[in-house]
Amino acid sequence: MILGASGTALTADEIAFYRDERPWGFILFARNIADESQLRDLIVTMRDSVGRPDAPIFVDQEGGRVQRLRPPLAPNYPDAAALGALYAQNRDAGLRATWLMSRLHAFDLARYGFSADCLPVLDVPAPGAHDVIGNRAYAREPAAVTALGRAAAEGLMAGGILPVMKHVPGHGRAAADSHLSLPRVEAALADLRSRDFVPFKALRDLPMAMTAHVVYEAIDPEWPSTTSARVIGEIIRGKIGFDGLLMSDDVSMKALSGDFRVRAAAILEAGCDIVLHCNGVMQEMRAVAEATPELSGKAASRAAGVLAARRAADDMDETEARAEFQRIFETVA
Catalytic residues: 179, 249
Which 3 state secondary structure label does DSSP give 11? coil
User: If we measure between CA atoms, which residue out of 103, 48, 52 comes closest to residue 304?
Assistant: 52
Signed CA dihedral, 206, 210, 212, 217: sign only: positive
Contact 93, 150 (CB under 8 A): no
Tell me whether the omega of the peptide bond preceding residue 120 falls within 30 degrees of 0, making it cis: yes
Q: How far apart are CA 263 and CA 309, in angstroms?
A: 29
Indicate the residue type of 169. Answer: P
Q: How far apart are CA 81 and CA 97, in angstroms?
A: 12
Phi/psi of residue 47, nearest 5 degrees: -65, -40
Which 3 state secondary structure label does DSSP give 70? coil
Contact 67, 73 (CB under 8 A): no
Q: How far is CA 288 from the centre of its chain?
A: 20
Contact 74, 111 (CB under 8 A): no
Largest Cα span, the chain: 55
User: If we measure between CA atoms, which residue out of 83, 80, 151, 92 comes closest to residue 121?
Assistant: 80
Contact 71, 108 (CB under 8 A): no
Contact 68, 142 (CB under 8 A): no
Q: How far apart are CA 30 and CA 60, in angstroms?
A: 10
Contact 53, 43 (CB under 8 A): no
